[in-house]
Amino acid sequence: MMGARRIAALALAALLPMAGLHAQEYPAKPVKIVVPFPPGGSTDVAARILAARLADEFRQPVYVENKPGAGTTIGAAYVASSAPDGYTLYVTGPITHASSQALYRKLPYDALRGFAPVGNMTVSPFIVVVHPASPAKSLKDLLEAARRQPGRLSYASSGNGAAPHLVTEIIARSAGVSFTHVPFKGVGPAVVALLGNQVDFMIADVAVVPQIREGKLRALALTTAAESALVPGVPSMAEAGMPGVDVPSGLALFAPAGTPEATVARINAAMNRALRDADVMQKFAMQGFEIQTGTPADLAAMMAREVERYGQIVRQTGIRID
């Protein structure tokens, strides 16, 4: 008669191939990508482009679900509380995600520990722009005017605590100057105010590139350490006289904390292949995005740095949302 230990061993051996098969089968059902903004914005468009290509990679439907509100924290909280099985993913900007930890006194999640980094998707500069009638022809001109008149120059942003607000404060503190912040409810109204010459400047994402090309806005500098093909000829921070300042924008993909490493690796590999697809690259370029791929470890390291950097600027300035 076969002993109990022998029977148990055979049963375990029979289960092991099943476990391996299960791991290889991901995804076995549709995958959802949560976007913490309304439909139609640049993050939403990028997520939908990626979702369409991932569906080919996974041979499963991949769809976008918008969960806007509360400065992206509604969408983030939803993802953080979702099952860590790889079927709920999250596309957001690393700056927004990292800064939420300091901007909100009470969050139902931890920006680092509540998520499994999957990988970077894009990188792009913010752009320092002024009205064409502005006397500032360079970033140096703008900063010198600010030194002569502390706090008098005003800048528009898409809202209190939004990424452009924080980035402007980082640059102001690096240069030893101060500005007056004029927050608006979204990028559109902020750009309209600058087009109307109601504020002195703003730091915006690549959404203002069309206005720059049409001569409706003048670009003084990029917030990154290197120039960008998106806006050729616009100097980097180093070229504009602020070496060491490098504040890029971008998008990244996350999963809930606890998602198996093998599943994260599978998603990362599929995403990187999707982002290197010529059609995807062209569509992203049309939206003003430069592709940036990498590993989960790359994104994890970047997020740790960003949480520290934006936590520091929030503490220094006292910026709060709640």
Query: Residue 180: beta bridge partners?
Result: 154
252 burial (CB, 10 Å; 0-12 / 13-18 / 19+) is: buried
Coil vs helix vs strand at 134? coil
**What domains lie within the chain, and their CATH numbers?**
28-124+248-317 (3.40.190.150), 127-222 (3.40.190.10)
pLDDT in the model for residue 24:
55
Which of 48-73 are b and which e, b meaning 16 or more Cβ less than 10 Å from the residue's Cβ? bbbbbbbbebbeeebebebbeebbbb
Question: For residues 183 and 173, what is the distance between their CA atoms, to the nearest angstrom?
Answer: 19
pLDDT along the chain (322 residues), means of 10: 51 47 76 95 94 97 96 96 98 95 92 97 95 97 97 95 95 96 92 97 92 96 92 94 92 98 98 97 90 97 95 92 77
Q: What is the pLDDT at residue 21?
A: 41
Q: What is the DSSP letter of 179?
A: -
- H or E segment at 124? strand 115-125
Please compute, for residue 49, the number of CA atoms within 13 A of its CA located in the half-sphere on the CB side.
Answer: 26
Quote the pLDDT of residue 230.
Answer: 86
Among 93, 78, 97, residue whose Cα is nearest residue 34: 78
